[in-house]
Structure 1
Amino acid sequence: MGQQRSIFITGGGSGIGRATAQHFGARGWFVGVADINEAGMAETLGQITGEAKWSGRLDVRDRAGWDTALAGFAAAAGGRIDALVNNAGIGTGGSLSELDPEEIDRCLDINLKGVLYGAQAVYPYLKASAPGSALVNIASAAGIAGSAGMSVYCATKFGVRAVSESLDAEWAADRITVASVCPAFIETPLLNGTGNRKSNEQIRDRVRSAGLEISPVTDVAQAVWDAVHGDKLDYFVGATARRMAFAKRWMPGKVRKQLRGSSGPLGR
């Protein structure tokens, strides 16, 4: 096996995935990005110097596609995969009563099933490169507390944290690090979306009107780096996420009251 460490990042064509690829590439890692956005992946790789990089098209809902992509990346990276970042995700918001079933299914399939498929597919590679290998799942502040108008998205992000906690126990004997990263509001293209088909209001505008901060995407990339090299289960990014995690633990009643009186979004 080659000695250069390698990392495979889904959703690598923009946002958190791109920033993470740049962060690890600048520190000497062999970087692989996967996405359905081929132009975005090409742009990401163009911002990483050197030849230690790879890209491949992957729809994270396709379990067989995972095997193909990981095999291709491992071959390019000298036969090893040291870390996987399950980052690909979409936003879905609005009243549950108004969401189309297809919107519900798509969010669940990409945000949650995609994470499970990725973890299952990468396990043999991480086991082979352990100790020091890592699975990092990108969750959200929406996985800390559930807010009105975000039931489906919150379900996926609570689920991502649950998957991480379960695999942290399941893979402990294999000496594989497992962690979740929980950003609040991050400067990514996701903020430009409207949440659902029946809304014209951008998520970015809702965040700003609520007086909440938007953190730079490089903060998440640093948190992923810390997660790969650390031993915590949860990494909270942004003041909103850290405050929410603290309050949910120590003041759950107050958090519930606040959430019942708010219709604002909760992150990523």
Structure 2
Amino acid sequence: MNLSGKNAIVTGASSGIGISFSKKLIEKGAKVYGLARRLNKLTEVGAELGDSFIPVKMDITKPNDIQQWATETFSEDNLPHILINNAGLGIFGNVEKLSIDDWKTMVETNLNGVFYLTHELVPFMKDSDEYHHIINISSIAGLLGNPQLTGYNATKYGVRGFSEALFKELRYDKIKVTAMFPGSISTHFFDRVGNETHSNMLQPDDVADTLIHLLETPDNFLVNEITLRPLNPKNPNEK
């Protein structure tokens, strides 16, 4: 896909790899609708990235709000060419100590939010003669289970299953679907769980470069799953 002039939707665009995704897309000539709950953070990102970044205050766990925004924003004259389902969160802990609300929050954000937005945008893509691409950001936790990650694992495994079914469903409609499974990325994600980041983690811009590569593949070439890992994941400051 030639990204120049394309419309891209990026969720979780106010921080972390969402910012890097948005920056790299804009550098390629795309217009980015950046979705997140914090409008003040989105405004800061927009000030850095310029007029091609459209801040959209959106809670992706609210399907009615998503439906209204999609209907008001997109049409046959303004198509959603690219959807990056990136927003997600992790709440870690032993299963007996993980609250019901925390479990529901992860399911609503990491899994249901992916469905809600995809559900609204796919009809626009199907009605178009152009090629489109949906990229769902899962995690290495969508491939490997670990203690104290039951909720996060469950939702990220769910993203993998959703993505595989979706790519088989949409491949004949000129809609690509890719699931990305990155390992630990140096972002503020780890601040919430009390872990420090370090230079041997994946870097956001490198992950974004990979995303751009996936989007720019030839029209009849699909990478439906890709795993990203640091070669040496150990903290270089630890002996």
**Shared fold (TM-score, shorter chain, > 0.5):** yes
Gaps of 5+ in 1: 195-201, 244-268
**Selected match of 1:234 from 225, 229, 234:** 225
Give the counterpart letter for 2:229 in structure 1. G
Q: What is the Cα deviation at residue 169 of structure 1?
A: 0.4
Question: Is the contact between residue 22 and residue 53 of structure 2 (CA under 8 Å) also seen in structure 1?
Answer: no
Which residue matches 1:26?
Answer: 27
Which residue matches 2:169?
Answer: 170
Q: Trace 1:84-103 onto structure 2 (pairs within 5 A).
A: 84-103=83-102
Which residue matches 2:42?
Answer: 41
Q: What is the Cα deviation at residue 165 of structure 1?
A: 0.3
Give the counterpart letter for 1:232 in structure 2. V
Which residue matches 2:67?
Answer: 67
SS, match of residue 137 in structure 1: strand
Give the counterpart letter for 1:68 in structure 2. Q
SS, match of residue 54 in structure 1: strand
User: What is the total number of aligned residue pairs between the two structures?
Assistant: 226
Q: What is the Cα deviation at residue 130 of structure 1?
A: 4.8
Question: Is the contact between residue 6 and residue 32 of structure 1 (CA under 8 Å) also seen in structure 2?
Answer: yes
Higher mean C-alpha deviation, range 145-154 or range 65-74: 65-74
Question: Is the contact between residue 74 and residue 81 of structure 1 (CA under 8 Å) also seen in structure 2?
Answer: yes
Q: What is the Cα deviation at residue 225 of structure 1?
A: 1.5
Which residue matches 2:236?
Answer: none
Q: Trace 1:126-205 onto structure 2 (pairs within 5 A).
A: 126-194=125-193, 202-204=194-196
SS, match of residue 200 in structure 2: coil
Gaps of 5+ in 2: 234-239
Structure 1 residues 20-47: Cα deviation after superposition (integer angstroms, max 9, x where no partner): 0000001100111010011111111112
Q: Trace 1:111-130 onto structure 2 (pairs within 5 A).
A: 111-130=110-129
TM-score (norm 1): 0.78
Structure 1 residues 159-206: Cα deviation after superposition (integer angstroms, max 9, x where no partner): 101111000001112110000111111111111112xxxxxxx1337x
Q: Assess, with a 3 A threshold, how the Cα gap between structure 1 residues 126 and 35 changes in structure 2: closer, same or farther.
A: same
Q: What is the Cα deviation at residue 240 of structure 1?
A: 6.4
TM-score (norm 2): 0.87
SS, match of residue 47 in structure 1: helix
RMSD: 2.2
SS, match of residue 90 in structure 2: coil
